[in-house]
């Protein structure tokens, strides 16, 4: 079975990438930073979540494109964390295509998001590319600060994206979303 890319989906994906680049560049006042490598720019994941509602291709290209915004504005560890978004974006888009409910999609993507961002920070800390705060164990810095912080940030952005997604469905810009809970 082939999936034909629609012009509307390509244009929406391009717009989502642009928005995903603009958010970290121009909305840094919405950024929370915790040493050694956790940052959270509120709404930064919204374009990726909306792209998941369109298709796996839209999610893939939006996750890759939005990473550029972080490459321009944040340390390398944060940009690599952003690159890890490809994983949760593809899994989430596939789940939405299979009509899994939005709460399950949110839980699965939040967990994947937190685990992979924590792993990136852990590797940067262990390899010495990013220094840990003095007296802070590496596992705490990577999995507690980054992992828990990412879970909270993900949930906020996902709720915003679902609200925007419902509005875009009503405007006939997106296909119908799966149910919230089945």
Q: Would you say residue 182 has pLDDT above 80?
A: no
Per-residue DSSP letter, 30: G
Domain of residue 106 covers 7-170
Per-residue DSSP letter, 29: G
Q: 180 lies in a domain?
A: no
Cα–Cα distance, 149 to 93 (Å, whole number): 23
Q: 137 lies in a domain?
A: yes
Q: 177 lies in a domain?
A: no
Q: 160 lies in a domain?
A: yes
pLDDT band at 27 (very low <50, low <70, confident <90, very high): confident
- Domain harbouring 25, CATH code: 1.10.1760.20
Cα–Cα distance, 22 to 33 (Å, whole number): 18
Q: 2 lies in a domain?
A: no
pTM over 0.75: yes
Q: 176 lies in a domain?
A: no
Q: What is the pLDDT of residues 56-71, one digit of tens each?
A: 999 999 999 999 888 8
- Sign of torsion over alpha carbons 77, 112, 109, 5: positive
Number of folded domains in the chain?
1
């Amino acid at each position: 079975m082939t999936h034909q890319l629609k012009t509307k989906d390509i244009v929406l994906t391009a717009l989502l990438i642009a928005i995903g680049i603009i958010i970290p560049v121009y909305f840094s006042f919405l950024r929370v930073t915790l040493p050694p490598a956790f940052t959270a720019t509120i709404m930064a994941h919204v374009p990726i979540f909306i792209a998941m509602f369109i298709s796996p291709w839209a999610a893939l290209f939006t996750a890759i494109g939005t990473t550029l915004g972080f490459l321009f504005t944040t340390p390398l560890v944060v940009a690599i964390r952003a690159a890890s978004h490809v994983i949760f974006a593809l899994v989430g888009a596939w789940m939405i295509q299979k009509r899994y409910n939005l709460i399950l999609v949110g839980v699965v993507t939040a967990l994947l998001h937190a685990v992979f961002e924590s792993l990136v920070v852990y590797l940067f800390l262990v390899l010495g590319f990013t220094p840990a705060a003095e007296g802070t164990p590496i596992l705490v810095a990577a999995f507690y600060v980054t992992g828990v912080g990412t879970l909270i940030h993900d949930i906020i952005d996902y709720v915003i994206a679902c609200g925007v997604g419902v509005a875009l469905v009503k405007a006939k810009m997106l296909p119908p979303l799966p149910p919230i809970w089945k």
